[in-house]
Amino acid sequence: MFERYSEQARRVVFFARYEASNYGSKYIETEYLLLGLLRENRGLVKCLPDERDVESEIRAEIEKQITKGQRIPVSVEVPLSADCRKVLILAAESAERLGHRRVEPVHMLIGILRVESSLAAQILLARGLKPGEMSEQLAKGPSMQYRSGTAISAERTLDAFLAGLKSLKPEELISFFGENAEFIDASGKRWNREEMWREFETLFAPYAKRNASYVIEAILAETGTLVVAIVLWKNALLASEQRAWMHRMNFVLLPGAEDWEILLAQATPVVLAG
């Protein structure tokens, strides 16, 4: 279910599980998902009109309407409730409909609003939030106030490079790298831009295979002059290959003359169990 979820969105679910166990709930309900959203992305508070200390107010309102039980240990599994599953499905549908590659916290917020009978939706709807209006805002500009345009632009450049490994020629792909760029391969060897250019097809052959797939796991840093991203690569084992593999790539991007450029890319093997 969470393959397309961004790192932020996954942390929302983690925080929701923490909230549920803290309140002694046997299920992760929508109200705990809402608290997880407010923990992870305080920028979402800006959606709520005329609210100051909105997080504590919402928490107090939730506590009035639930029965607090004994805290559940973290070792005990706490599943998603039916309404919570609906929220996550609707969040993914919202991202798909808007043409967004990843599910972000704001899509989860829209998902909550669309499950109108849930406690979380009732709290938000009473504060004037409407799923239709939020979807319209997202359609006008995917970043809204929740993500910076800097990260969006750099991520698009990175995504274009990663996707291009399967179809573009080396002379087209090398242009994504800055003049002083370096690539550190999975064995730890460093390659400068000129060396990359000469050995491009060999260096990036594993990632160009049809059974190799990637996901941008996280944006670790984002400023006007720097973006650091983590990408996870994995392959589906084919009969012609001896074993499956996974690589994690760290990317550092800087703004170039026309667009963002890759300054550093480092591949690290991920040890697979068994």
For residue 191, the model assigns a pLDDT of 97
**pTM for the full predicted model:** 0.53
DSSP state letter for 175:
G
Spatial neighbors of 178 by CB under 8 A, at least 6 apart, are 193, 254, 256, 261, 262, 263
Please state the φ and ψ torsions of residue 177, each to the nearest 5 degrees: -95, 140
Half-sphere exposure of 253 (CA within 13 A, CB side): 29
pLDDT tens digits in sequence order for the chain, 274 residues long: 677 788 778 888 988 998 999 999 999 999 999 999 888 766 665 566 555 567 788 899 999 999 999 999 877 889 999 999 999 999 999 888 877 778 888 889 889 999 999 999 999 888 877 777 666 665 554 444 444 455 567 888 898 999 999 888 999 999 999 999 999 999 999 999 999 999 999 999 999 988 889 988 888 877 778 889 999 998 876 545 566 788 999 999 998 877 899 999 999 998 765 5
User: Is 255 in a helix, a strand, or coil?
Assistant: strand
Q: Which domains does the chain have, with CATH numbers?
A: 7-140 (1.10.1780.10), 149-269 (3.10.450.50)
Query: Rg for the chain (alpha carbons), in Å?
Result: 21
